[in-house]
Amino acid sequence: MQHSSLLVQETVNNFTELPGIGPKSALRLVLYLLKSDPEYAKKLGSSIIELRDKIKSCKICHNISDDEVCSICNDSRREEHVLCVVENLRDLMAIEDTRQFRGRYHILGGVISPIEGVGPEELHIDSLLERIERNGVQEIIMAISPTIDGDTTIFYISKLLEGKEITISTIARGVSFGGALEYTDEITLGRSIISRIPYNS
Partner 1 sequence: MKRLRLTHLEMIQFKNHEKTSTDLQGRLVCITGDNGMGKTNILDAIYVLCMSKSYISFRQADIIQNDKDFTRLVGSFERNGDKDLITLKYPRNGTKIIEKNGKKYTRLRDHIGFLPVVIITPDDVQLLLGGSADRRTLLDNTLCQVDRDYFTNLSQYNYVLKQRNSFLKSDIIDDKVLDIYDSKLIEFGKQIYDKRKQFFSDYAETVSKIYAKISGEKEDIEVTYKSQLNDQDFATLFQGAREKDRILQRTTTGIHKDDMDLLMNKHPVKSVASQGQRKSLLLSLKIAQFEIIKTQLQVSPLILLDDLFDKLDRHRVAHLIQLLTDGDFGQIILTDTNKTRVKETIGAISIDADWLEISNGQISNYEYSNS
60 is an interface residue for Zn ion by CB under 5 A: yes
Query: Which DSSP string do the residues of 165-191 spell out, in sequence order?
Result: S-EEEE--TTSPTT--GGGS-HHHHHH
Q: Are 70 and 61 in contact (CB under 8 A)?
A: yes
Least distance in angstroms from the C-beta of 160 to partner 1: 8
Residue 113 binds which of Zn ion, partner 1, none (CB < 5-8 A, kind-dependent): partner 1
Residue 121 binds which of Zn ion, partner 1, none (CB < 5-8 A, kind-dependent): partner 1
183 is an interface residue for partner 1 by CB under 8 A: no
Q: Are 175 and 144 in contact (CB under 8 A)?
A: no
Among 115, 163, 165, 198, binds partner 1 (CB under 8 A): 115
Judged by CB under 8 A, the stretch of 41-49, 77-85, 96-104, 111-119 that binds partner 1 is: 111-119
Judged by CB under 8 A, the stretch of 101-109, 136-144, 146-154, 163-171 that binds partner 1 is: 146-154
113 is an interface residue for partner 1 by CB under 8 A: yes
Among 12, 58, 86, 154, binds Zn ion (CB under 5 A): 58
Among 109, 110, 120, 146, binds partner 1 (CB under 8 A): 120
Interface residues toward Zn ion, by CB under 5 A: 58, 60-61, 63, 70, 73
